[in-house]
Amino acid sequence: MRRKIYILFSHLIYRPDSELREELVESRHLDLFNEYDQFADAPEVPESWRPENIPEVEEWDELWEEELNYNNPKINLIESVYKPWTVDESCQMPFADEKGFLMGDWAHHMLHLYEQLDFELPESFSHCPDHLMLELEFMSLLIEEVSRQHQHQFLNQHLDWIDDLLEEAQNEDLAGFYIDLIKWLLEFIRAEKEYLAAKSSTA
């Protein structure tokens, strides 16, 4: 069920289609979070993402094109952009400790992790292996493959920038529909960290 929630968030960032909309209209995401709430503090599903408020596919697709399209999105959904390019103090590059660049240490570490677990990187994401959509999908794999302690470590290392993403979304006047999605995701990751920290300490 945790795995399905990470996949859900990954799909909600992706370009919408009729199948995804049908799942939301049928309240399947509500069912997932109701189930999650049985053993962890599930965040409330935002009003804009409740079944009765999901836009028609054509309207949703137009909104996605305006806000999150892959070629020229209003905000970047890429980890490296929100962190210093490298933590290597010996690096002599003039932008080494600056933010806003692709393929930083975080991206290369993701490539290493993908290789370890045979996670196939889509060609269209070769320039940004640390895209949020991929990191969420990869986390769903970790739930099946590694311990809770290692899952917690991944959240702290690679999904610790969502608060910065939210701030950027608000600064850039991202559509409320997607700001709500980022807030929802942020609250879920916080709940996951608490859940995994508790489970790791009792393991």
Q: pLDDT tens for residues 106-160?
A: 999 999 999 999 999 999 999 999 999 999 999 999 999 999 999 999 999 999 9
* Cβ proximity of 87 and 105 under 8 Å: yes
Give me 171's structure tokens. 């600064």
pLDDT confidence of residue 100: 84
- pLDDT for 41-57, tens place per residue? 999 999 999 999 999 99
CA distance 101 to 57: 33
pLDDT confidence of residue 54: 98
Residues of the chain with pLDDT > 90, as a percent, come to 87
Residue 64, pLDDT above cutoff 70: yes
- pLDDT for 160-174, tens place per residue? 999 999 999 999 999
- Higher pLDDT, residue 85 or 198: 198
Query: Rounded to the nearest 10 degrees, how much is the dihedral formed by the CA atoms of 111, 76, 105, 126?
Result: 30
- pLDDT for 69-115, tens place per residue? 988 999 999 999 999 988 766 765 666 677 989 999 999 999 999 99
**DSSP SS3 for 73:** coil
Alpha carbon 168 to chain centroid, angstroms: 15
Query: pTM for the whole thing?
Result: 0.94
Domains of the chain with CATH codes: 2-202 (1.10.3480)
* Cβ proximity of 136 and 7 under 8 Å: yes
pLDDT confidence of residue 85: 80
Q: Which residues pair with 78 in a beta bridge?
A: 131
Cβ neighbours of residue 186 closer than 8 Å, sequence gap 6 or more:
162, 163, 166
What does the DSSP 8-state code read for residue 34?
H
pLDDT band of 199, cuts 50, 70, 90: confident
Give me 187's structure tokens. 């609250």
pLDDT confidence of residue 91: 64
Cβ neighbours of residue 197 closer than 8 Å, sequence gap 6 or more:
152
Q: Which residues pair with 131 in a beta bridge?
A: 78
- pLDDT for 4-23, tens place per residue? 999 999 999 999 999 999 99
